[in-house]
Amino acid sequence: SQQGEEDPQALSIQEGENATMNCSYKTSINNLQWYRQNSGRGLVHLILIRSNEREKHSGRLRVTLDTSKKSSSLLITASRAADTASYFCATSPYGGSQGNLIFGKGTKLSVKP
Amino acid sequence: DVKVTQSSRYLVKRTGEKVFLECVQDMDHENMFWYRQDPGLGLRLIYFSYDVKMKEKGDIPEGYSVSREKKERFSLILESASTNQTSMYLCASSFLGQGYETQYFGPGTRLLVL
């Protein structure tokens, strides 16, 4: 049961530019997380934002959450070639089985040097 | 440092073979998960376990079974492999309980069934 939908599906930018990815979801959530996946590897947790938070920062990452619109965005500032990866949002549904996450299909980011 | 390991990075099996994928975590996590990842379909949950000997079906359990005899180890079993089970398999673990939903992933096993 897919809940998160990322947009765009693919994004290509130049090094130094900012990259913005969006995620929409359908039901109430406890929190929303963003993960990164390098080609052919496992996912790595980037950042978690709780349902009562609106914005969170971690290094060059900025995440916003709008629960009224059921959407989130991930901004990567001053992108680098090493940021090339797929990015997934994952939601922890309110009232769902503890620990279960529902992943979106991901945004494939390509940062050209 | 957090660590989730999977027994193989690449695996090639024949149709009808029984396949075991092993996952081990060293973080004393209660929860463990098996996903498969296919292009255009994202991650789909096959099975998860929140305790030793406990298992719950995910979204696509058909054709799979799991075993959790020890807290640190979660095995995915393909009883009779079929070509439509060719995929990337990802294992993950997390603590149990609200506020601990961050999942830690292994490197993945790319399975090819011929």
Chain A residues touching B100 at Cβ < 8 A: 99
Q: How far is residue B69's CA from residue A113's CA, in Å, rounded to a whole number?
A: 48
CB contact, 8 Å: B97 with chain A?
A: yes
pLDDT at residue A1 above 50? no
Interface contact flag, B101 A88, Cβ < 8 Å: no
CB contact, 8 Å: B61 with chain A?
A: no
Contact, A44 vs A37, CB < 8 A?
A: yes
pLDDT (0 to 100) of residue A80 = 97
pLDDT (0 to 100) of residue B97 = 73
When pLDDT is cut at 50, 70 and 90, the band that residue A96 belongs to is low
pLDDT at residue A98 above 80? no
CB contact, 8 Å: A93 with chain B?
A: no
- Please give the backbone phi and psi of residue A20, each rounded to the nearest 5 degrees, phi first: -120, 130
* Tokens 């939601």 -> residue: A91
Residues 45..64 of A with a Cβ closer than 8 Å to B: which?
Answer: 45, 48
CB contact, 8 Å: A101 with chain B?
A: yes
Count of the separate structural domains present in chain A: 1
pLDDT (0 to 100) of residue A36 = 97
Interface contact flag, A99 B104, Cβ < 8 Å: no
- Which pLDDT tens digits describe chain B residue by residue (114 residues)? 669 999 999 999 999 999 999 999 999 999 999 999 998 888 999 999 999 999 999 999 999 999 999 999 999 999 999 999 999 999 999 988 766 678 999 999 999 999
Report the sign of the C-alpha dihedral through residues A77, A23, A56, B28, in that order. Answer: negative
Interface contact flag, B50 A41, Cβ < 8 Å: no
Chain A residues touching B97 at Cβ < 8 A: 98-99
CB contact, 8 Å: B40 with chain A?
A: yes
Give the three-class secondary structure for B49. Answer: strand
Strand A61-66 relative to strand B4-6, pairing: unpaired
Chain A residues touching B108 at Cβ < 8 A: 40-42
Domain holding A35, by residue range, is: 5-112
Chain B residues touching A33 at Cβ < 8 A: 101-102
pLDDT in tens, A26-81: 988 889 999 999 998 999 999 999 999 999 999 999 999 999 999 999 999 999 99
Question: Angle CA(A9)–CA(B110)–CA(A2) in degrees, nearest 5?
Answer: 40
Give chain B's domains with CATH numbers. Answer: 4-96+105-113 (2.60.40.10)
CB contact, 8 Å: B104 with chain A?
A: yes
pLDDT (0 to 100) of residue A30 = 87
Structure tokens at B74: 């979660």
Q: What is the CATH number of the domain that holds A99?
A: 2.60.40.10
